[in-house]
Amino acid sequence: MAAAAAVAAAAPAAGTGNVEFIRARSDKREYRRVVLANALEILLISDPDTDKAAACMEVEVGSFSDPEGLEGLAHFLEHMLFYASEKYPGEHEYTKYITEHGGSYNAYTSSETTNFFFDVNVDNFEEALDRFAQFFIKPLMSQDAVLREIKAVDSEHKKNLLSDGWRMYQLQKHLASKDHPYHKFSTGSWETLETKPKVRGLDIRLELLKFYENYSANLMHLVVYGKESLDCIQGLVERMFSDIKNTDQRSFKCPSHPLSEEHLQLLVKALPIEEGDYLRIIWPIIPSIQFYKEGPCRYLSHLIGHEGEGSIFHIIKELGWAMNLMAGESTDSNEYSFFSVSMRLTDAGHEHMEDIVGLIFKYLHLLKEDGVHEWIFNELVAINEMEFHYQDKVHPINYVMHTVSTMRLFPPEEWLVGAALPSKYAPQRINMILDQLSPETVRIFWESKKFEGSTSSAEPWYNTPYSVENVTPSVIQQWIKKAPTEKLHLPKSNIFIPKDLSLKEVHEKVIFPTVLRKSPLSQLWYKPDMLFSTPKVHIIIDFHCPLSSHSPEAVVATELFVELLVDYLNAYAYDAQIAGLFYSIYLTSAGFQVSLGGYNDKMRVLLNAILVQIANFEVKPNRFSALKETSVKDYQNFNFRQPYSQASYYVSLILEDKRWPVAEKLEALSKLESDSFAKFVPHLLSKTFLECYVQGNIEPSEAKSVVEEIENTIFNAPNSLFKSMSPSEYLTKRIVMLENELKCYYQTEGLNQKNENSSVIQYIQVHQDDAILNIKLELFSLIASQPAFNQLRTVEQLGYITSLSMRFDYGVLALQVVIQSTVKDPSYLDGRVDEFFKMFESKIYELSDKDFKRNVKSLIDSKLEKFKNLWEESHFYWGEIEAGTLKFDRVESEVALLRELKKEEFIEYFDQYIKVDAPQRRTLSVQVFGGNHSAEFKKAIAEADPPKMYRVTDIFGFKRSRPLYSSLKGGPGRITMD
């Protein structure tokens, strides 16, 4: 199956040789390498079909370069470069320009690099790129902006303080050599960037400017993706980026591995915030980037992380000890690396931690004894080649981010492929890494609430309680001896690797999905692939089961049914996922959905296995208990979610007619037993209608036969649990209609009072799906989102998480403003949102014709953006079917209306629906008071309602008192194309 990689000749560039890029056979873009006189190395990409242009700059300066005692300075600098430059001195001119022209932007700081990236509508690329270039030429970094952005960095840190992911990562770094940069705290806080520097007499702005001198052109890599020709793009980058200074800085190199002997052979017990036990077994290894053609870690992670029969996971899952397992290399440097095996444990697994570690070492011993197998390596090579050559096109912003990271690490001809195609079979290299996964170098991190009261230390930055014990190789040997004797073995060859990658002929041009087949049991929508010429298919089967959502008990039982299905299928279907066939089964508002995507060749084999599992569902008590236990913990962890996430939940609880509270679902789940669950499943499936969608490299006759097979397996099998459903039983979720000129508000305390953050969501309900109203709301959101962020976050410094965006609930459109803050309570935040809308009135009224037209054009450009791949296209059409709107020509019709839209009509819409005292403004403010604001909460709930305000105290009483929007979705008898 191995195929030679396609090679593309690149045109010669100034100062560079001709580069022949190894690239995917399906890739039609043009590429060129350019090196400017200042040593900035650039990859140019020309894609005449693109609607978005993008760029990404990687600077080889990261948090490892932070000066001693100024933790977080690299991250802080990343924030500061967004503000203003000498050429564009207006604050946030870059972000404003990008947002107003259909784009997005972000940046991140890692250990050794800082990455900045954006995308924008193609017509606005030149101006956006020029603003971007100024980050690296002459940023202003004013004193005023410095202070404000330290607060933003601190707010970001406070958001992370109660996140177990951040806490455990820092704990791993803490237990490392103190003189190694890996040991450092990297994100920064008020303490590290303001308090401590002041005590030392440091001017943080001067330190920032000094640190910025590290940003030298010779340490930068840039990827630029545009619609124009390579010559044209080259002209742009030469003009814009040649002024970046080259001070010939040396890139940071780590002083060896961060772990010395004292940091190995450790068992670390840590106390998490959330419920759930996790085990991570970690070894330091030589970074496999050094042998990327040989791919030793790919081979080992494939076997150690396998989930089929005979694997570590299959055995510990059957024993009821673990819920998942991941294995592989993780690194934030080229100088050192780690191999880890991590899993979520059950309560029984917690009791058997030693057995699990023993079993893992047993498997490593088996790999050594059994030797390296060339057929396994060749199978992986074949899968990797297929993945590479049939890769889906992605958004330019994602493509440039991925590609820039290869420029530093690989020779130019391999920039597009990186480490994706290991091809050199080198068993000695695999054995070398395998030898490093030894008891002598192991570190075991074990998280559990059960360690409460038994820890002896606390990590200084996040205050995570932990204790450390030594685990010698002889102890590990004892664990290996007493580990289970179940038969571990290597996986069999993968039956799901596709053989037939041919493309089906499309006999007639089908622009939109059509109903191809209809019966009392199901309906099939079909669309052939007209755009992507790829041997892939997407199948969605929506099981509409009205008995799935009529009570909290029904919802949690349906949820558990779905989780058990996935659990039962796991060992068999794992090979399918390795071979590029993906499936998911998930809960919906009226039942559950099965979605499959990937190569069409073996799709029906996988689909049949899923259907048989559904049709012959049995309750396995041991798996029921393990999944129920995990689900209970997940529900309990709702208390530890970020306050803005809790606020969003309350908005949904107030608006949706069939939404059950988490507390009621948790209670129902706690009482659910396997025998009552076994009785529920036939009840659930006794009323079912299937809505099916098939799109891709598949002929109409085959699509029909797929659905016939589904019906036969599900409904017509002997002793089938499934029965058809009458149209009157078709249920859809509906949304509460708020009242004109009335502001409803709901105030509650955060469920975890240790979290200092408070949050507000101001939700402005506008209208039900309607083309002309939709475009006016989208236009307002486009115009207002950046000014809202600028005013509420940058100017007023209310909190790191701040946004204004559109919200869509079952066909009802709204605006929502979200703020999470430690500095102010939610009532105050809500008042500031109102003030923003009042202040913004004048901006709407004073909107010039030129600005109005520019914003309209930007929205049109965004709407006309082409689908990048089959999944994007099918998700759009399926979204219309699922919502019941069936506006398959939505884009064309809304664009036609936008072209005719007058500024006066837009202002009239704003006056009618959005401004603070608008006659049809319908507002809900959900306010979650965190630990910092308990006094303000007591005061707020004691206050009387002001005029035109209504306090929601009983959510369900309130819902019962309000009318509902009509559903856009009819029953199965009503769904038609007209």
Angle at 598 between CA 592 and CA 600, to 5 degrees: 105
d(CA 117, CA 129): 10
The residue-averaged pLDDT of 753-763 equals: 96
In this structure, are 223 and 274 located in the same domain? no
Q: How confident is the model at residue 9 (pLDDT cuts 50, 70, 90)?
A: very low
Burial of 85 (0-12, 13-18, 19+ CB in 10 A): buried
Residue 331 has pLDDT above 90, yes or no: no
The residue-averaged pLDDT of 35-47 equals: 98
Residue 16: predicted pLDDT = 55
Residue 891 has pLDDT above 80, yes or no: yes
d(CA 242, CA 380): 43
Residue 17: predicted pLDDT = 56
130 closest CA partner among 34, 224, 1: 224
CB 548 within 8 A of CB 725: no
**Comparing 389-398, 936-945, 962-971, which segment has the lowest mean pLDDT?**
962-971
d(CA 597, CA 372): 32
CB 284 within 8 A of CB 435: no
CB 525 within 8 A of CB 514: yes
Residue 970: predicted pLDDT = 62
Residue 1: predicted pLDDT = 28
In 63-202, which ranges are E strands?
Answer: 104-109, 114-121
**Comparing 53-57, 232-236, 726-730, which segment has the lowest mean pLDDT?**
726-730
Give the count of domains, the chain.
4
Residue 6: predicted pLDDT = 34
State the average pLDDT for the chain. Answer: 94
What residues pair up with 581 in beta bridges, in sequence order? 598
In this structure, are 226 and 280 located in the same domain? no
Residue 712: predicted pLDDT = 93
d(CA 718, CA 743): 56
> Which residues have CB under 8 Å from 505's CB, separation 6+?
699
Phi, psi dihedrals of residue 204, rounded to the nearest 5°: -65, -30
In this structure, are 812 and 924 located in the same domain? yes
**Comparing 20-24, 57-61, 582-586, 721-725, which segment has the lowest mean pLDDT?**
721-725
Tokens 């008995």 sit at which residue?
Answer: 547
Residue 595 maps to which CATH number? 3.30.830.10
Q: Quick one: what percent of the chain has pLDDT higher than 90?
A: 92
In this structure, are 580 and 696 located in the same domain? yes
- Residue 475's CB is within 10 A of a number of other CB atoms, namely 16
Q: In what order do the strands lie in the sheet with 277-285?
A: 326-330, 337-345, 277-285, 443-447, 266-270, 465-470, 457-458
- By residue range, what is the domain housing residue 879? 743-961
Residue 859 has pLDDT above 90, yes or no: yes
In this structure, are 790 and 912 located in the same domain? yes
In a domain, 535, yes or no: yes
Give the residue numbers annotated as catalytic, written as ranges: 78, 149
In a domain, 926, yes or no: yes
In a domain, 721, yes or no: no
The 8-class DSSP code of residue 190 comes to H
DSSP secondary structure string for all residues of 431-473: HHHHHHSSGGG-EEEEE-GGGTT---EE-TTT--EEEEEE--H
In this structure, are 799 and 923 located in the same domain? yes
The residue-averaged pLDDT of 127-155 equals: 95
In 212-265, which ranges are E strands?
Answer: 220-226
What residues pair up with 20 in beta bridges, in sequence order? 9
Residue 15 has pLDDT above 70, yes or no: no
The residue-averaged pLDDT of 55-73 equals: 97
Residue 332: predicted pLDDT = 80
d(CA 366, CA 647): 50
In this structure, are 757 and 662 located in the same domain? no
Domain edge (last residue) among 242, 271, 299: 242
Residue 8: predicted pLDDT = 35
CB 650 within 8 A of CB 744: no
In this structure, are 82 and 216 located in the same domain? yes
CB 819 within 8 A of CB 777: no
Burial of 458 (0-12, 13-18, 19+ CB in 10 A): middle
In a domain, 551, yes or no: yes
In a domain, 7, yes or no: no
- CA 140 to centroid of chain Cα atoms: 33
Residue 482 has pLDDT above 80, yes or no: yes
In this structure, are 455 and 594 located in the same domain? no
Residue 61: predicted pLDDT = 97
In a domain, 915, yes or no: yes
**Comparing 134-138, 719-723, 933-937, which segment has the lowest mean pLDDT?**
719-723
Domain edge (last residue) among 665, 700, 716: 716
In a domain, 383, yes or no: yes
Residue 972 has pLDDT above 60, yes or no: no
Q: How confident is the model at residue 599 (pLDDT cuts 50, 70, 90)?
A: very high
Q: pTM for the complete prediction?
A: 0.94
Residue 825 has pLDDT above 70, yes or no: yes
**Comparing 44-53, 435-444, 944-953, which segment has the lowest mean pLDDT?**
944-953
The one-letter code for the residue type at 461 is: W
d(CA 442, CA 484): 21
In this structure, are 678 and 824 located in the same domain? no
Residue 226 to residues 217, 242, 788, Cα–Cα distance (Å): 22, 19, 30
In this structure, are 57 and 115 located in the same domain? yes
Contacts by 799-808 with C-beta closer than 8 Å and gap 24+?
799/155, 799/757, 799/823, 800/152, 800/155, 800/156, 800/158, 800/159, 801/155, 801/159, 801/642, 801/644, 801/759, 805/781, 806/777, 806/778, 806/781, 807/763
Domain edge (last residue) among 186, 209, 242: 242
Tokens of 140: 């202003």
d(CA 661, CA 497): 44
The one-letter code for the residue type at 137 is: I
Please give the helix or strand (H or E) that residue 585 lies within, else none: strand 581-588
Residue 148 has pLDDT above 80, yes or no: yes
pLDDT digit string, tens, across residues 275-310: 999 999 999 999 999 999 999 999 999 999 999 999
Tokens of 333: 């440097």
In a domain, 502, yes or no: no
| Side-chain half-sphere CA neighbours of 907 within 13 A | 13
d(CA 863, CA 858): 9
The residue-averaged pLDDT of 883-904 equals: 96
Q: Which residues of 421-448 are buried (b: 16+ CB within 10 A; e: fewer)?
A: bbeeebbebbbebbebbebebbbbbbbb
Tokens 């005692």 sit at which residue?
Answer: 69
In this structure, are 708 and 846 located in the same domain? no
